[in-house]
Structure 1
Amino acid sequence: MTAALRTIITPTAITRLVLGWGAFIALQFMGSLLAPPVPMTLLVTALVVIIAVILICAFGVVTEAEHLANRLGNPYGSLVLTISICLIEVILIAAVLLGHGDHATIARDSVMAVSMIILGAVIGLCLLVGGLRHGAMEHNRTGVSNYLVMIVVFAALAFAVPALIGTPDGAYEIWQEIPIIVITVGAYVFFLYRQMGSQAREFTEVAPPADVAAASAGASSTAGTTHPSPAEAADPEPRAQTSESDPQGIVEILSTHRTEIIARLVLLVATVLPIVLLSHDMATLLDDGLARLGAPVALSGVVIAMIVFLPETLTSLRAAWNGEIQRVSNLCHGAQVSTVGLTIPTVLVIGMLTDQQIVLAESPINLALLAITLLVSVIGFAGKRVTAVQGAAHLIIFVVFGLAIFA
């Protein structure tokens, strides 16, 4: 094994693979023990172990995606991260949807939970942490505005429109699903085309964080001495700058670092596969456990959302700690656009192929909380800078959403 491959296939990466594939093999031998009815102690133990392994593998997927992101630069790097998260979410939702029982609302519950976690909890925490450490942070208003416009449109198509033109249960009719899928995917592809093309500059940092600027100023007064930014200090690999002015930069990177990129993609796929294979057992046990506890049906969607976005949450918080508020937006708002723009159409296609009804229309309280969250986002990010106070407002709305689940 070459030195370059040893830096990619690390002991940690091997451990994740062993845990993921080992858990899957172990479940094959335990099939009879986990057949319903499963004793409550065994059910809880198995569910905790499976969720823990899925989380470990999810962190591995995000780790490899982060390395690819650092190599490719923004906005391509953030896109790799958001697509990886979206893939994991679709896998988990499909596992529940295709399992035993009636799960017509699982896509709605999961995507709504992800939306509130991203726009409420994660954005709120990032603004609070970044604002307290760096003060008011300047973001690229045009880029954030593009994200928020797409989020508002996709959220309306997913959660509000079905209640107005769909079935009494809040699902689209078959003849309505096809145009909704086409226009949603089409709008998302067009957004990506613009984001990675002529509008790429609008999704980059406006200015370096305050402490990075101070470090640069100090460096300029010290002959022959350079000081890395906090982001560079935490990141051993230099982040490519492909989106500023060189549209061919990504091609050069793919050519120069082809071996590394291919190896990381293979490792990413090998780490995703255990999530796919374990998700069915997780869905079955989760459904059984929540039913015995008499928990709200929407709680299964919250569990999926927490599994999906926990690794991305830590990445976003690191970016906020370093004062990279535009990277926070690219990660969080980009993930939200991908979640609604890709997950909903994918689930609708699965429903059409399996002849299952997909209920999307949300309850009035959840629609109101999502609308308030979007309004706060639009107002807050319309300013030149964002602050910790705005982060606190986002967190308040998320707490109310948590209370509404059990109402």
Structure 2
Amino acid sequence: MSVVSGIRTVLTPRALAQLLLGWIAFGALLVAHPVLEGPLSTSALFSLLAVIVLVIVACAFGVVTQAERLSHRLGDPYGTLVLTLSIVVIEVILISAVMLGPGEHATIARDSVMAVSMIILNLVIGVALLVAGIRHRGLEPNRAGVSSYLSLLVVLLATAFALPGLIGSDGSYTAGQAVPILIATLMLYAFFLYRQMGAQRDDFQEVTADHVAAGQGRPSILDALSTHRTEVLSRAVVLVLTVIPIVLLSHDMATLLDEGLDRVGAPVELSGILIAMIVFLPETITTIRAAHAGEIQRVSNLCHGALVSTVGLTIPAVLTIGLLTGQTVLLAETPANLVLLGVTLLLTVTSFFGKKVTAVHGTAHLMTFLLYALIVFS
């Protein structure tokens, strides 16, 4: 396949329209920024929020299309890693940018990662297991891969949210504690990626007979890159360029959303939850479609892999910024959230380490997310 034909295969009229829509909307928001600083009527405020959400949804479907094509060409875990890392890295950069900006943002990392944890581990996985359990029977995840994810999540989440309140100072790590923790976290995450993409790749592939047979006939990633290099690179570039306006728009709408929730009397924490849901919308759509197709290990790769990347990259980034700028990085969570986080991890073990996942497991995860919502509103 020639370079031109490969690019044309990827950059279809629909893909180009979704790409342009996101960037044009972001540009329009920048131009209109002086106007938006003034007071808006409630109807105008929520109308603008609705337009932004519609643009993000349209772009999200474009991201999903590219992610699924990449997954087909490269196989897991490579296909899901491209989507996961593109979203997570941009999210980490934006959190870091907020911390480096004016004002105090001591809890932004804690609040963002906690919201993402509850959304991914309970809301997204809950819906996915409910869909998969109703549509399919006897779905079995690859326990070796899920176990690897959960091993890191137990350690990383405890390091992020529990230990600062036990050994730190006023819920923050001291400088002497932050340095070894951020180094160890990065080393652990890097070693995990090295093993996931190398010797333990099979641990993150489907274990059902149909998928095993399909995987045996699939060329290696080197063969795929050699044969479809132009298409793979083009899809990766288009995916990232479509993800960027989604994340930028979601963070630009934060101020509007805060004002809108304040007008209706909703808690300010709800803003962080809604923004996190919007940022991870492409991954959520991909996860639900994978569940509908019976690809239960891909559900784990997308969700558990996304959270491992989020915690493994966000915590070192914010600790480093805190050390360099002298800012306080408050990470210790409330007792209620810590209890719910422990329940979530235990529930994840019981869901994915039985003989099969069922719709009942999905409802238990959704119930846990409801409890998190009650904590936010309490």
Q: TM-score, normalised by structure 1?
A: 0.83
Render the CA deviation track for 1:51-79: whole Å, top value 9, x for unaligned.
Answer: 44344334433432332222111111121
Structure 2 match to 1:49: 51
8 Å contact from structure 1 (residues 120, 373) kept in 2: yes
Amino acid at match of 1:308: V
Structure 1 match to 2:143: 141
Structure 1 match to 2:178: 177
Secondary structure (helix, strand or coil) at the match of 1:162 reads helix
Shift of the alpha carbon at 1:171?
2.1
Structure 2 match to 1:224: none
8 Å contact from structure 1 (residues 108, 361) kept in 2: yes
Distance in 1 separating the partners of 2:229 and 2:367: 45
Distance in 2 separating the partners of 1:193 and 1:378: 24
Of 204, 213, 237, 1:266 maps to: 237
Distance in 2 separating the partners of 1:346 and 1:332: 21
Matched, 1:405 2:344: no
Alpha carbons of 1:323 and 1:54: their partners in 2 closer, same or farther (altered >3 Å)? closer
Distance in 1 separating the partners of 2:188 and 2:151: 11
Alignment of 1:4-403 (within 5 A): 4-94=6-96, 96-97=98-99, 102-168=104-170, 170-208=171-209, 241=218, 249-275=220-246, 277-278=248-249, 281-403=252-374
Distance in 2 separating the partners of 1:316 and 1:51: 19
Shift of the alpha carbon at 1:180?
1.6
Secondary structure (helix, strand or coil) at the match of 2:37 reads coil
Shift of the alpha carbon at 1:254?
1.6
Count how many residue pairs are aligned between Structure 1 and Structure 2: 376
Alpha carbons of 1:270 and 1:135: their partners in 2 closer, same or farther (altered >3 Å)? closer
Alpha carbons of 1:99 and 1:290: their partners in 2 closer, same or farther (altered >3 Å)? farther
Shift of the alpha carbon at 1:156?
0.4
Larger helix share, 1 or 2: 2
8 Å contact from structure 1 (residues 57, 271) kept in 2: yes
Shift of the alpha carbon at 1:380?
2.8
8 Å contact from structure 1 (residues 72, 239) kept in 2: no
Larger deviation: 284-293 or 77-86? 284-293
RMSD: 2.8
Secondary structure (helix, strand or coil) at the match of 2:198 reads coil
Considering only CA atoms, is the larger Rg found in Structure 1 or Structure 2? 1
Distance in 1 separating the partners of 2:247 and 2:354: 42
8 Å contact from structure 2 (residues 247, 279) kept in 1: no
Amino acid at match of 1:285: L
Amino acid at match of 2:188: A
Larger deviation: 17-26 or 289-298? 289-298
Distance in 1 separating the partners of 2:46 and 2:98: 17
8 Å contact from structure 1 (residues 96, 284) kept in 2: no
Alpha carbons of 1:208 and 1:305: their partners in 2 closer, same or farther (altered >3 Å)? farther
Alpha carbons of 1:241 and 1:362: their partners in 2 closer, same or farther (altered >3 Å)? farther
Q: TM-score, normalised by structure 2?
A: 0.89
8 Å contact from structure 1 (residues 373, 394) kept in 2: yes
Distance in 2 separating the partners of 1:100 and 1:57: 30
Secondary structure (helix, strand or coil) at the match of 1:385 reads coil
8 Å contact from structure 1 (residues 136, 388) kept in 2: no
Render the CA deviation track for 1:163-221: whole Å, top value 9, x for unaligned.
Answer: 112221x2222332222211111111111111111111111111146xx89xx9xxxxx
Amino acid at match of 1:313: T
Shift of the alpha carbon at 1:102?
4.0
Unaligned runs of 5+ in 1: 217-228, 230-237, 243-248
Structure 2 match to 1:219: none
Distance in 1 separating the partners of 2:317 and 2:216: 32
